[in-house]
Amino acid sequence: MDKKILITGAAGFIGFHLCKKLIEKGEFVVGLDNMNSYYDIKLKKCRINQLSTSKEGKKKIFNFVKGDIVSKKLITETFEKYKPNIVIHLAAQAGVRYSITNPEAYLESNLIGFMNIIELCRGSEIKNFIYASSSSVYGGNTNTPFREKDSVDHPVSLYAATKRSNELIAHSYSHLYNLPSIGLRFFTVYGPWGRPDMAPMIFTKSIFEGKPIRVFNNGDMMRDFTYVDDVVDSIIKLIEKPALANKNFNKNHPEPSTSWAPHRIFNIGNQEPIPLMDFIRTLEKEIGIKAKKTYEGFQEGDVKSTHACIESLQEWIGYKPYTSIDKGVRDFVEWYKIYYNFN
């Protein structure tokens, strides 16, 4: 198949790395992003510049569209101009805590924006629709590791609720219009060019600046930290293997992560959760500075621990994370020092 790949959220953390890898492979890539100010626009602009320019300073073949997925007109024009046959939808309003204070942003981007994208997919010859869900959908579940067959009907944040809504909407489109769709539940992705609103960046910034880091739930938390390269490699493999209808699907005992329709849901995690305090110690070791800490209570909308079962993804594409936490943190800190001039 002659691939034409549209990636929304191209200036975002995962979107940037995915675009970069696909461009290096010689794929035709169209990136779309509204470049909003949820976090540092300069960082987003630097990412896009990296995608547009090679190491030799020459322009790369990268088609960038600046615009908002909430605009049906813009999305329609983008589909008509570039005629993508693979859509990877990563654009969304991210952040669990921000959803408590700014709920409207999540309804617009994560629901209206999602509907605009999937509606255009329905009317186009899309061979594979892959979209970002989140480990947040597991909500208050305490039975770990989290498995795709688990119930996810008790979200503890609006962000999680919108991501679960995306999964349900995508399934209905797979059923009604035979649209192959795959939902990806990401688990705490980190690495170079990371998001400033996530713990690795927040902690690192505070350590370098000599400011105390806020440690929630008094440090009694676990996260399935997943290195961005592992995530990107799995998405690239999924591009080559769209969802198929499960011919053995039993409607009397429905399996939540698969269907009689061409729709699948996969966890993308490291499957080895790290205690938060161990992660902080790894950061301290790589940075060479002891962190100042203030211990606080549990944050509303947060979860105590995340732990991904990735057996389904292993069976589907042979996925296995290969980046250790030590190497991942080392590479992240090395990038941080260069980007923020802390050498």
3-state SS of the chain is: CCCEEEEECCCCHHHHHHHHHHHHCCCEEEEEECCCCCCCHHHHHHHHHHHHECCCCCECCCEEEECCCCCHHHHHHHHHHHCCCEEEECCCCCCCCHHHHCHHHHHHHHHHHHHHHHHHHHCCCCCEEEEECCHHHHCCCCCCCECCCCCCCCCCCHHHHHHHHHHHHHHHHHHHHCCCEEEEEECCEECCCCCCCCHHHHHHHHHHHCCCEEEHHHHCCEECCEEHHHHHHHHHHHHCCCCCCCCCCCCCCCCCCCCCCCEEEEEECCCCCEEHHHHHHHHHHHHCCCCCEEECCCCCCCCCECCECCHHHHHHHCCCCCCCHHHHHHHHHHHHHHHCCCC
pLDDT value, residue 52: 85
How many domains would you assign to the chain?
A: 1
Name the nearest CA neighbour of 39 among 167, 195, 170: 195
Tell me the mean pLDDT in the region 59-80. 91
Question: Is 18 within the bounds of a domain?
Answer: yes
CATH of the domain at 96: 3.40.50.720
Question: Is 96 within the bounds of a domain?
Answer: yes
Question: Is 60 within the bounds of a domain?
Answer: yes
What is the span of the domain harbouring residue 84?
4-190+226-269+307-322
pLDDT value, residue 342: 81
Of the listed ranges 53-67, 119-133, 213-227, 302-316, the least confidently predicted one is 53-67
User: What is the tens place of the pLDDT at every residue in 149-187?
Assistant: 999 989 988 999 999 999 999 999 999 999 999 999 999
Predicted confidence (pLDDT) at residue 43 exceeds the cutoff of 60: yes
Predicted confidence (pLDDT) at residue 56 exceeds the cutoff of 70: no
User: What is the tens place of the pLDDT at every residue in 246-255?
Assistant: 999 999 999 9
Q: In this structure, are residues 244 and 262 in contact, taking their beta carbons and an 8 Å threshold?
A: yes
Question: Is 341 within the bounds of a domain?
Answer: no
Question: Is 199 within the bounds of a domain?
Answer: no
pLDDT value, residue 64: 95
pLDDT value, residue 301: 64
User: What is the tens place of the pLDDT at every residue in 71-117?
Assistant: 999 999 999 999 999 999 999 988 777 777 788 889 999 999 999 99
User: What is the tens place of the pLDDT at every residue in 267-320?
Assistant: 999 999 999 999 999 999 999 999 999 998 877 767 788 899 999 999 999 998
Residues catalogued as catalytic: 159
Question: Is 264 within the bounds of a domain?
Answer: yes
pLDDT value, residue 55: 54
User: What is the tens place of the pLDDT at every residue in 120-134?
Assistant: 999 899 999 999 999
> What does pLDDT average to over the chain?
92
pLDDT value, residue 60: 58
Predicted confidence (pLDDT) at residue 223 exceeds the cutoff of 90: yes
Tell me the mean pLDDT in the region 24-43. 92
pLDDT value, residue 105: 86
Question: Is 77 within the bounds of a domain?
Answer: yes
**Could you tell me the CA-to-CA distances from 139 to 134, 254, 265, 304 in Å, in that order?**
10, 21, 16, 10
The top-scoring range by mean pLDDT among 31-40, 55-64, 98-107 is: 31-40
Question: Is 218 within the bounds of a domain?
Answer: no
pLDDT value, residue 122: 95
